[in-house]
Amino acid sequence: MNIIKAIAACAALMLPGAAAAQNVVATTGDSVADFFKDEGATVDLTTDSVGDPNVKVEYYGNDFSVYYYGCDNNTSCNAIQFFSGYQTDGSVRLAKINEWNNENRFARGYISEEGSARIEMDVFLGDDGMSPDDFAQAVSLWTRAMQDFETFIDW
């Protein structure tokens, strides 16, 4: 009987902490924006050309946008995309971008129609979202990839 009481006590102690840390979700722009604000980032929450949320972030010297996908009437989104673009005026060749994509797992690069180098990374959050710790890991993957991409394209 003491084992059952000990397990129940441990479970009760864990509940308040679990309830305090809400998952990061993509249902609206607020959750992702709030995550970055809590991290000390400068955040501008707007909408894109079709009315879906869009978050512009300045995070430890990195500027990027967060686009939302899988939305239903501009809410209830289920995925986000980290995005950064670099006006390179065609100086980065497609072969170099292909090399980047071949050597990197999570973020992909491409050349826009205007000749700018771009990098993006999709994150599926589903209906339930991702724990703040796991989301922080995804952000870490993104910012590292962004910095590595900038070095790779001689930005």
Dump pLDDT digits (tens) for 99-132. 999 999 999 999 999 999 999 999 999 999 999 9
Residue 11 has pLDDT above 50, yes or no: no
Strand partners, 85: 118
What pLDDT is recorded for position 95? 97
Q: What is the pTM of this model?
A: 0.85
Q: Residue 135: which residues within 8 A CB-CB, separation 6 or more?
A: 24, 35, 123, 129
- What mean pLDDT comes out for the span 52-74? 96
Residue 57 has pLDDT above 70, yes or no: yes
- Is pLDDT larger for residue 45 or for residue 1? 45
Whole-angstrom Cα distance, residue 146 to residue 32? 18
What does the mean pLDDT of the chain come to? 89
**How many degrees, rounded to 5, is the angle at CA 137 between CA 131 and CA 138?**
90
The pLDDT-based confidence of 18 (bands split at 50, 70, 90) is very low
Q: Which one, of 30, 28, 54, 56, lies nearest residue 42 by Cα?
A: 56
